[in-house]
């Protein structure tokens, strides 16, 4: 059968749309977007010559079934011209990352990486973990593959260099050393236990170590230890010894430390069973800062070179590329990719495939990691599929649930109430889809869990009906699992009835007698409650989902409660920002003292005008 026969007649309609756009397309570089009838972006592509590239879509018999489906869905196209093909590639990568088109290769599990920051906006710089935009003045070292890798390094740095990690506010308010000084992880500059010059010497050593001069720092510490020992200053010699051990501990965690690789990412790709794992190792200043696995989403027949090119474009769309990127294999249009990364970095970025030596061994090591990671993921997916099939059988679903949503509430006597939603699917927990709901209603009886659940589910499914009415954007669950008993089930049924939802499976899970795990009862609409055998894997799976929802809801509640605890009455005054709030608190000591102050005393605060002082005074003394 011809491939074009496998799709319905709308294929011709899509071809007609593309032909109409083609008539006005320029023969220049640019980016094109294919959209469906709803305006959703189906595909983002780039071209050196837009006209030559897009014309291929008017011959669907030469395309795969997947691309034929895309052509059939195409209702309109949008085009952006660029000056060069490099600019087109950069724009394409950004749009794919932002829009997530269904027919592109997608890197969905990409996250920002943590760094270590030596601050530069205080007389006594601090060392801390930083994630996100580099908005604070200072020196950034990284990226590290995970928060755990940063935490290990930070812990050892504190032992080795005794730099402060406290906030500026805590630093300025200390009157005696904190616990970190007692356990020899800080030099207590906040209470003048170290001279400024000596502290800056420690900072210089930390900077040198993080910049790749670890051997020089170790030799310097060894020389100082020997000098102290010869002078019979054994206590000081022990301090240097402990600092050297701390540095050795950092290097011990970095089992691969290629000295000849000052700044590089090692990227290895492995494919099997229509799936791909990309393993990335980060090397900075001759040190291994960890590795991370990625699993791009793509069609089963996607070529490795195509996946590699798409990965590089999206991975570095919001990150600064290093000076060198080592690949396990060719990427499609590799020269253009390298030029695009160089343009983004504002300097030359070398992209190469090592053939021999230490660089080749690093690639082989990363490739082995990619193969093992993909094997683990495929095994986990297979096990997850069996569990989902078991859920379908237990609850009488029509088929394997692709999306399970689990809900729970958390509060203390009705205060700071939060609802939590966690999501699980074929690949396990889908943490990017988690949502928290701050309970807004002021008419609820404190502690009314049923009313809270009604509010959470009403907001959740009203939004789903608005944003995904045709249920083709992956926002609708196949199964809703509620933590609670028959009362929670009835509350949820009321919401579904009110919203006209009658085709989403609903189950509530209640703990057994004495809240014993393993004796849970499951309530389904119109049926008697059921229980599962104690050792049933499906029971354990459902317990884990319930516990994860509970953990997430409690975490959201604690965060909200902590925010309320640190909120100041000064925050309620219009015009009081961070600077004025800080000036008032430094002058009076607390918000309570500000409230009790006379007008003249408020006027005396630096940075507070007479008009603002009157506004503050009137806020706390509304009746004069």
pLDDT tens per residue across span 248-265: 655 554 445 566 777 899
DSSP helix/strand/coil, 370: helix
pTM > 0.85: yes or no: no
Indicate the average pLDDT of the chain: 86
Give the residue with greater pLDDT, 108 vs 29: 29
Question: pLDDT tens digits for 514-542?
Answer: 555 667 899 999 899 999 988 888 998 99
C-alpha–C-alpha distance, residues 221 and 436, integer Å: 50
Model confidence band, residue 480 (pLDDT cutoffs 50, 70, 90): very high
Q: Are the C-beta atoms of residues 479 and 405 closer than 8 Å to each other?
A: yes
For residues 424 and 594, the model is more confident at 424
Confidence tier at 18 by pLDDT (50, 70, 90) = very high
What's the confidence (pLDDT) of residue 409?
Answer: 87
If one compares 220 and 269, the residue with the highest pLDDT of the two is 269
CA distance 159 to 149: 16
Which pLDDT value is given to residue 617?
87
pLDDT of 410 higher than 80:
yes
- Per-residue pLDDT, averaged over 374-379, amounts to 87
Contacting residues for 453 by C-beta, under 8 A, at least 6 apart: 407, 409, 419, 482, 484, 488, 491, 492
Distance CA 14, CA 10 (A): 6
Q: How far apart are the first and last CA of the chain?
A: 89
Question: Mean of the pLDDT values across residues 40-68?
Answer: 92
Q: What are phi and psi of 413, to 5 degrees?
A: 50, 40
Question: What's residue 253's pLDDT?
Answer: 46
Q: Is the dihedral of CA 320, 325, 330, 335 positive or negative?
A: positive
**Position 112 confidence tier, pLDDT thresholds 50, 70, 90:** confident
Q: What is the mean pLDDT of residues 223-244?
A: 79
pLDDT for 6 equals 40
8 A C-beta contact, residue 322 and residue 349 = yes
Q: Would you state the pLDDT for residue 578?
A: 77
Q: What is the pLDDT of residue 1?
A: 38
Q: Quick one: the chain helix, strand, coil %, rounded to 5?
A: 50, 20, 35
Percentage of the chain with pLDDT > 90? 45
Instruction: Work out the pLDDT band at 191, boundaries 50, 70, 90.
Output: very high
H helix or E strand, kind and range, residue 284: strand 275-284
Confidence of residue 314 (pLDDT cuts 50, 70, 90): very high
pLDDT of residue 4: 41
Please give the helix or strand (H or E) that residue 326 lies within, else none. strand 324-327
How does DSSP classify residue 198? H
402 pLDDT more than 50:
yes
Whether 2 has a pLDDT exceeding 50, the answer reads no
% pLDDT > 70, the chain: 91
pLDDT for 251: 56
564/481: higher pLDDT: 481
- Phi/psi for 351 (5° steps) reads -115, 120
């Amino acid at each position: 059968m011809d491939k074009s026969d496998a799709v319905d007649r709308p294929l011709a309609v899509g071809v007609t749309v593309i032909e109409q756009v083609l008539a006005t397309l320029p023969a220049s570089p640019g980016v094109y977007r294919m959209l469906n009838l709803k305006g959703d972006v189906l595909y983002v592509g780039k071209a050196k010559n837009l006209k030559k590239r897009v014309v291929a879509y008017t011959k669907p018999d030469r395309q795969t079934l997947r691309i034929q489906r895309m052509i059939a869905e195409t209702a309109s196209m949008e085009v952006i011209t660029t000056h060069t093909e490099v600019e087109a590639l950069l724009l394409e990568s950004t749009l794919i990352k932002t829009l997530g088109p269904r027919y592109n290769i997608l890197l969905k599990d990409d996250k920002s990486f943590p760094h270590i920051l030596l601050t530069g906006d205080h007389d006594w710089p601090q060392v801390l973990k930083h994630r996100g935009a580099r908005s604070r003045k200072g020196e950034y070292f990284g990226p590290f593959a995970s928060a755990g890798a940063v935490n290990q390094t930070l812990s050892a740095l504190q032992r080795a260099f005794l730099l402060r990690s406290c906030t500026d506010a805590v630093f300025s308010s200390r009157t005696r050393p904190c616990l970190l000084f007692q356990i020899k992880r800080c030099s207590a500059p906040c209470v003048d236990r170290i001279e400024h010059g000596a502290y800056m010497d420690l900072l210089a050593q930390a900077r040198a170590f993080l910049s790749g001069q670890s051997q020089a720092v170790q030799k310097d510490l060894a020389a100082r230890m020997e000098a102290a020992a010869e002078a019979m200053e054994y206590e000081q010699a022990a301090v240097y010894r402990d600092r050297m051990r701390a540095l050795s501990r950092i290097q011990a965690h970095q089992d691969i430390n290629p000295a000849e690789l000052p700044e590089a990412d090692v990227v290895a790709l492995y494919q099997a069973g229509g799936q791909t794992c990309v393993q990335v190792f980060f090397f900075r200043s001759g040190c291994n800062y960890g590795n991370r696995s990625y699993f791009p989403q793509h069609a089963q027949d996607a070529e490795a070179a195509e996946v590699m090119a798409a990965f590089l474009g999206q991975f570095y769309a919001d990150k600064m590329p290093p000076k060198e990127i080592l690949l396990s294999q060719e990427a499609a249009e590799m020269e253009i990719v390298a030029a695009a990364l160089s343009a983004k970095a504002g300097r030359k970025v070398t992209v190469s495939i090592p053939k021999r030596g230490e660089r080749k061994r690093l690639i082989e090591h990363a490739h082995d990691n990619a193969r093992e990671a993909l094997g683990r993921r495929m095994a986990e997916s297979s096990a997850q599929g069996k569990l989902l099939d078991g859920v379908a059988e237990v609850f009488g679903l029509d088929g394997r649930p692709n999306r399970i949503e689990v809900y729970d509430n958390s509060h203390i006597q009705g205060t700071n109430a939060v609802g939590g939603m966690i999501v699980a699917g074929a690949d396990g927990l889908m943490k990017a889809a988690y949502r928290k709901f701050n309970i807004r209603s002021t008419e609820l009886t404190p502690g009314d869990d049923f009313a809270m659940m009604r509010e959470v589910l009403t907001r959740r499914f009203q939004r789903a009906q608005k944003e995904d009415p045709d249920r083709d954007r992956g926002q609708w669950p196949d199964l809703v699992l509620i933590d609670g008993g028959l009362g929670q089930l009835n509350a949820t049924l009321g919401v579904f009835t009110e919203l006209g939802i009658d085709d989403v499976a609903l189950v509530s899970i209640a703990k057994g007698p004495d809240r014993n795990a393993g004796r849970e009862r499951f309530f389904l609409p119109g049926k008697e409650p059921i229980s599962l055998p104690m050792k049933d894997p499906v029971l354990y799976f459902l317990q884990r989902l319930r516990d994860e929802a509970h953990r997430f809801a409690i975490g959201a509640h604690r965060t909200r409660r902590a925010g309320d605890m640190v909120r100041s009455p000064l925050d309620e005054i219009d015009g009081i920002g961070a600077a004025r709030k800080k000036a008032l608190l430094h002058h009076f000591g607390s918000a309570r003292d500000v409230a009790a102050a006379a007008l003249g005393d408020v006027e005396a605060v630096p940075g507070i005008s007479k008009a603002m002082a009157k506004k503050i005074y009137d806020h706390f003394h509304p009746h004069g």
